[in-house]
Amino acid sequence: MAKKEEPTFEEGAKQLKEIVSQLENDDLELDEAIDLFSRGIENLAFCKEKLARIKAKITELKQGKNGKLAEEILDFDA
């Protein structure tokens, strides 16, 4: 059996947008709204984790004083 591939961040964000759109619809039954909300929370956690992993991989090459390239982690929180 083939391993199921993890969705991309873009797919997760699209699904989250669709869930939010459905939740904004006034025609939902309470149970359906709660189910969608739960799926949305799970999807949001997935997207946050995916972003954290991507952020950890992003590096910037900078030329040091000795003329060599040095790898530096970008600080997005600054």
The answer to whether residue 26 is domain-embedded is: yes
Q: Which residues of the chain have pLDDT under 50?
A: none
Q: What is the pLDDT of residue 63?
A: 57
Q: What is the pLDDT of residue 34?
A: 95
The answer to whether residue 3 is domain-embedded is: no
Q: What is the pLDDT of residue 55?
A: 75
Number of domains in the chain: 1
Burial string for 46-73 (b: 16+ CB within 10 Å, else e) reads: bbeebeeeeeeeeeeeeeeeeeeeeeee
Q: What is the pLDDT of residue 75?
A: 62
Could you tell me the residue range of the domain that residue 14 belongs to?
Answer: 9-73
Q: What is the pLDDT of residue 4?
A: 74
